[in-house]
Amino acid sequence: MKTITQVAAQFGVSARTIRYYEELGLLSSQRTEGNHRVYSKKECAKLKLIFRGKRYGFSLEEIKEMVLLFDYDRTGKAQLERTIRYGDQRLQEIDMKIAELTEMKTELLQLREEFSKRLSKLEEESDE
């Protein structure tokens, strides 16, 4: 069992972030006799999944659904199916963003080339 301070330090976040995830129902804690929050290895594993999900751009609602599915289906099948579905959606979004960025890069390179030619022409004219 780890205290909220230890868990926050382990993941490099504030204790407030941990409490927020608990308020959303993503995590649950136990309480010590002194009424301090403590977290099991299972809850720390959930937190690791939460941060991984955030890094990949999933919403907290999607993360909550994926993480909590294991509690309802201990085989993990439903969790894996949902994660794959959300992952496929996210991959499509990433592909669209890559295409958009590639197009933007191409346009910027063309503009840069055009501007470089203009600058060279202006410099040649000023040298004359």
CATH code of residue 53 = 1.10.1660.10
Rounded to 10°, the helix 15-23/4-11 angle is 100
CB 58 within 8 A of CB 86: yes
Phi, psi of 38 (to 5 degrees): -135, 150
Enclosing domain of residue 11: 2-127
pLDDT of 69: 84
pLDDT of 43: 93
Please name which of 47, 68, 124, 42 lies closest in space to residue 55, comparing C-alpha atoms.
47
Mark the ranges of the chain whose per-residue pLDDT is less than 70: none
| Global pTM value | 0.74
Q: How many domains does the chain have?
A: 1
- Number of CB atoms found within 10 A of residue 52's CB: 11
